[in-house]
Amino acid sequence: MSLYAIGDIQGCFSTLQALLNKINFDSKHDRLWLVGDLVNRGADSLQTLRWIYNHRDVVTTVLGNHDFHLLACGIGARTPKHNDTLDDILTAPDKDELLTWLRHQPLLYEDGDYMLVHAGILPTWNLEQARHHARQLEQALQGDQWQDILTAIYTSSSEDTLDNPWYTIANFFTRLRFCTADAVPDYQCKVAPQDAPQHLYPWFELTSRPLAHKTIVFGHWSSLGLYVTPHLIALDSGCVWGNSLTAIRLPDRQIFQVSSQERSVH
C-alpha cells in the first residue's frame, strides 16, 4: 500500500486524473490525503467532488476555504463570485448528498507524526489547543445548527471576531499564511515569503512554534509552491493557475507532478 498527499485540486479534474495515472493509483491498495480546496476555479468542480466522494473509503481530506465557500453558497449564505465554478454542484441532483458529506470532513487530521491541514496552524497553539479548536468547529458543522454556523462565519468582520469564534477558527485553519512576530495572523498578504513586508513571517517560521516537531502537510499557498522540509510539506503548486498538480508519496517523500491540463482556469 502507498499513501500519497495531493494539493490543491480546485476542480482540476483532468489534471487530477493525469496525476493519478502517473502514480499508478490503485484504489484497492493505495490511499490519498487531500489538503482541501477540492473545488472552485477549475473547470470540473462537480466531477472532482463526485470522484472524491465515490472514493471516500480511501481518501482523507480536510476542509479548505473554497470548500467552506461552497457550503455557504449551498445554503444561500454567500453568492457565488463571477469567477467561481460551483454552479454545476449547486444545481446537481446529488448536491445535498455531496455537501452533507463535505461538511462532515475535518479541519485537522492526524496520523502518527503527520498532521494534515489546509492552510496552517496558529504558531502559538500546542497539540491540545489545535485539536480542541478543530473539533469545536467540526462538531458545530456536523450538528443541527450548522447552517447558522456557516452564516455566522460569512457575516462576520474583523471587528467582531471575539464574539464569533467560528469565524476566527475557520480563518486560522483555512486562510493562514503570514503572521506578525507576535503571531497575529495577516490574511491580506498572499505573496511568496521573500516578497512579503519585513514585519510579516510565514506562520511556520516563528521559532517558538510548539508543533515544530510534527510534520505538517498543507496547501493553500500557491505563491509559496512546493516546499518540503523535514517537518513541513506544502503542496499547492498552482495547478488552477496553469502550473502543476503535485503528489508526494509518504513517507519516502518522492515527488510526482503533472502540468495543468485544464481547458480553462480561474
Query: What local confidence, expressed as pLDDT, does residue 251 receive?
Result: 86
pLDDT in tens, 127-170: 999 999 999 999 999 999 999 999 999 886 554 455 678 999 99
Query: What local confidence, expressed as pLDDT, does residue 18 receive?
Result: 98
pLDDT of residue 199 exceeding 70, the answer is: yes
Local confidence band at 265 (pLDDT 50, 70, 90 cut-offs): very low
Query: What local confidence, expressed as pLDDT, does residue 167 receive?
Result: 92
pLDDT of residue 5 exceeding 80, the answer is: yes
Largest CA distance in the chain: 49
**Mean pLDDT value across residues 110-139:** 97
Query: What local confidence, expressed as pLDDT, does residue 266 receive?
Result: 47
Threshold 0.85, pTM exceeds = yes
Query: What local confidence, expressed as pLDDT, does residue 157 receive?
Result: 59
pLDDT of residue 72 exceeding 60, the answer is: yes
CA distances for 103 relative to 90, 99, 185, angstroms? 15, 6, 25
What structural domains and CATH numbers belong to the chain? Answer: 3-259 (3.60.21.10)
What would the 3-class secondary structure string for the chain be?
Answer: CCEEEEECCCCCHHHHHHHHHHCCCCCCCCEEEECCCCCCCCCCHHHHHHHHHHCCCCEEECCCHHHHHHHHHHCCCCCCCCCCCCHHHHCCCCHHHHHHHHHCCCCEEEECCEEEECCCCCCCCCHHHHHHHHHHHHHHHCCCCHHHHHHHHHCCCHHHHHHCHHHHHHHHHHHCCEECCCCCEECCCCCCHHHCCCCCEEHHHCCCCCCCCCEEEECCCCCCCCEEECCEEECCCCHHHCCEEEEEEECCCEEEEEECCCCCCC
Question: C-alpha cell of 174?
Answer: 483555512
Local confidence band at 263 (pLDDT 50, 70, 90 cut-offs): low
Residues 6+ apart with CB under 8 A from 53: 97, 98, 101
Other C-beta atoms within 10 Å of 52: how many?
Answer: 22
70 burial type by CB count under 10 A (0-12 exposed, 13-18 middle, 19+ buried): buried
> What value does the mean pLDDT of the chain take?
94
CA distances for 218 relative to 21, 149, 249, angstroms? 23, 24, 14
| Percent of the chain residues past pLDDT 90, beyond the cut | 91
pLDDT of residue 234 exceeding 80, the answer is: yes
**Mean pLDDT value across residues 209-224:** 95
Query: What local confidence, expressed as pLDDT, does residue 1 receive?
Result: 86
Distance CA 12, CA 125 (A): 33
Local confidence band at 207 (pLDDT 50, 70, 90 cut-offs): confident
Entry field: residues in the chain: 266
Query: What local confidence, expressed as pLDDT, does residue 162 receive?
Result: 53
CA distances for 4 relative to 51, 163, 194, angstroms? 16, 39, 29
